[in-house]
């Protein structure tokens, strides 16, 4: 009976050790212009805004136009990737706003430059779906 308890404890320890969450250890790597273009062009992208807590779905047309759904409303605009490898969006007639895209481990993030010149994570991209899915 004692052997059965020891065996049970060992099995439980093995199962629980597989449940541990390990932090991503990879340093963020900025994507090139070609990588950013390839990642977004012709895809519907789900993004999570880390500041406001909102989720949006955006389709990046190959022709440079963009459609976005957030707050259950649609809006349109334009997108491009500039020579600094930043993705740039101009929504509803506003000027382009450009940000860097980084790969951190297996996750993609959009960063902005903060007041002190430091990079700040603002958007986490959850998924990239081929084609228009909104």
Mean pLDDT rounded to a whole number for the chain? 87
pLDDT higher at 72 or 102: 102
Residue 125, by phi and psi: left (phi above 0), alpha (psi -120 to 50) or beta?
Answer: beta
Query: Rounded CA gap, 55 and 48, in Å?
Result: 5
Mean pLDDT of 64-72: 94
pLDDT band per the 50, 70, 90 thresholds, residue 82:
very high
Provide the pLDDT for residue 7: 44
Domains of the chain by range and CATH? 24-130 (2.40.128.640)
Average pLDDT over residues 23-40: 88
pLDDT of residue 9: 47
**17 phi/psi in degrees, rounded to 5:** -65, -30
Phi first, then psi: give them for residue 35, nearest 5 degrees: -65, -40
Residues in the chain: 134
**Beta carbons within 10 angstroms of residue 36's beta carbon:** 19
Structure tokens at 4: 């059965």
- DSSP β-bridge partners for residue 73: 70
Whose CA is closest to 86, among 40, 132, 49, 125? Answer: 40
pLDDT of residue 11: 43
pLDDT for residue 95 is more than 90: yes
| Helices assigned H by DSSP within 26-102 | 33-40
Q: Give dist(CA 54, CA 56) in Å, integer.
A: 7
The mean per-residue pLDDT over the stretch 31-59 comes to: 97
């Amino acid at each position: 009976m004692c052997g059965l308890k020891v065996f049970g404890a060992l099995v439980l320890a093995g199962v629980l050790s597989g449940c541990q969450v390990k932090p991503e250890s990879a340093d963020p790597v900025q994507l090139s212009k070609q990588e950013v273009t390839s990642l977004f062009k012709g895809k519907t992208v789900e993004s999570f805004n880390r500041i406001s807590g909102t989720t949006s779905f955006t389709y990046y047309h190959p022709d440079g136009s963009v459609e976005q759904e957030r707050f259950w409303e649609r809006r349109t605009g334009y997108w491009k990737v500039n020579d600094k490898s930043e993705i740039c969006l101009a929504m509803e007639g506003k000027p382009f706003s450009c940000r860097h895209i980084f790969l951190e481990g297996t996750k993609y993030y959009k960063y902005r430059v903060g007041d002190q010149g430091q990079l700040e994570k603002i958007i986490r991209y959850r998924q990239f779906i081929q084609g228009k899915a909104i």
